[in-house]
Structure 1
Amino acid sequence: MIRREPDTTLAPTTAAEIPDADAPQTSIIRRHPTGSFPVLPEPPVDEIATSYLPRATPVEVPAPRPPRPDPRAAVATAAVSILSGWATAVIATSLISAWWRTDELFCVAIGFLAAVSAGATIGGLISLLLRRRVGRLLIIVGAFVAVMIFAGLFVAGAALPTIVYAIPLLPIASVVLAALPATGRWCR
């Protein structure tokens, strides 16, 4: 229980404000003044500020975060890489099935290169879409290995439809798209 004694350092202004010594002590803590508030005189009418107040100068507020990079280059890289990987797998499978009886070692090498190209391209696509920098490198490695498969196809001298001679443009296009600065900004 808290009991407060009257403050004797403050001199009361009237006799009515002097606490009675015989009154029982209470545990109420007073949080407001015991006297009345002083009245401040009002300033004369001539001193009131009636002049023009200038407007505040506008301040440029910076953007809360940098703008997001445009995803079009990364989407184009992903789409062309998917097509390139699919075309490489089709050509490698066709090459292996046609040459298996004549040159098994060549077919094993093409199969190994196709597996490396597929692994690098798929890993690169996933990394690129997750905005990792290593995705661009993996796509370039997968495309380089795909070009090696097509070079092996041309060195073997296989009879191919004319459209197959245009398919190496897909890995080259995926390398070009992966190397674009816009794709790099997307990955950061």
Structure 2
Amino acid sequence: MASDDTTPAPNDGPSDTDDSENTRIIRRAPLNTGSQPLSAAADPHTTIIRRHPTGSLPVAPEPATGYLPRATPVAVGPARPPRVDAKPAIATAVASIVSGWATGVIATDLITGWWGTDLLFCVAMGFLTAVAAGASISGVIALLLRRRTARLLIVVGAVISLLIFASLFVAGAKLPALVFAMPVLPLASIALAALPATARWSRSG
């Protein structure tokens, strides 16, 4: 009869053979605990370049200041024509206005003096006076507005005024000597309207 001493002892744990067959042990290098220096190869390779400041931050240079000349103005568009002298046109307008006033005075005196004796003559005087006044007033306004027809209208009004003054001699009216000198006014209007300076003024508009 076998004794209990022959009974195989129980296994305290897995054997080395079983361990090698069932498990795989991964062994890593020991961590650096301070007792063993790490090699230079252990440091990771990085691309960051660290620089230390060598002084204060650089200051940007101040821009140079100075007087900047203004741009020269340049005319845009067509060049303006030279300025035309307005004195001849003003003289023409004044002479035409005074001539028209004198013509109206003479025509009124003739109509009132001959109304009872010659009605046809008075009607003709009234018609000529109205035409002369209309031409003179229109001519002065057109001259102030620089219209080309201004000189023609002034000349027409002055010529009709001369016809009215000529009727004084035909009628044989007794009038002061100053009245017979009044035809100088329409003649002056015609002469001033015919000046080249007046023509340039009327064409400048």
Q: 1:129 Cα deviation (Å)?
A: 0.5
2-side partners of 1:125 and 1:134: how far apart?
A: 10
Give 1:68-147 correspondences, 5 Å limit. Answer: 68-147=83-162
Aligned match of 1:160 in 175, 183, 196?
A: 175
* Matches of 1:66 and 1:112, distance apart in 2: 42
Look up the equivalent residue of 1:87 and give its one-letter code. Answer: A
Among candidates 150, 156, 181, match of residue 196 of structure 2 = 181
SS in 2 for 1:101: coil
**Runs of 4+ that moved beyond 6 A:** none
* Residue type of the alignment partner of 1:153: L
* Aligned-partner Cα distance in 1 for 2:184–2:121: 23
Q: Distance in 2 between matches of 1:80 and 1:65?
A: 30
1:81-133 CA deviation, whole Å, 9 max, x = no partner? 00000000000001100110010000100000000000000000000110001
Give the SS at the match of 1:131.
Answer: coil
Q: TM-score, normalised on structure 2?
A: 0.61
Q: Which residue of 2 aligns with 1:8?
A: none
Identity %: 65
Q: Distance in 2 between matches of 1:177 and 1:154?
A: 26
Distance in 1 between residues matched to 2:145 and 2:183, nearest whole Å:
27
- What do residues 15-64 of structure 1 show as CA deviations (whole Å, max 9, x unaligned)? x9xxxxxxxxxxxxxxxxxxxxxxxxxxxxxxxxxxxxxxxxxxxx9x93
Structure 2 residue identity aligned to 1:97 = T
Counterpart amino acid of residue 146 in structure 2: R
Q: Distance in 1 between matches of 2:154 and 2:130?
A: 14
AA of the residue aligned to 2:134: G
The answer for the alignment partner of 2:33 in structure 1 is: none
Name the Cα RMSD after superposition: 1.5
- Structure 1, unaligned stretches of length 5 or more? 1-15, 17-60
Q: What is the alpha-carbon distance in structure 2 between the residues aligned to residue 124 and residue 101 of structure 1?
A: 34
The residue identity in structure 2 corresponding to 1:80 is A
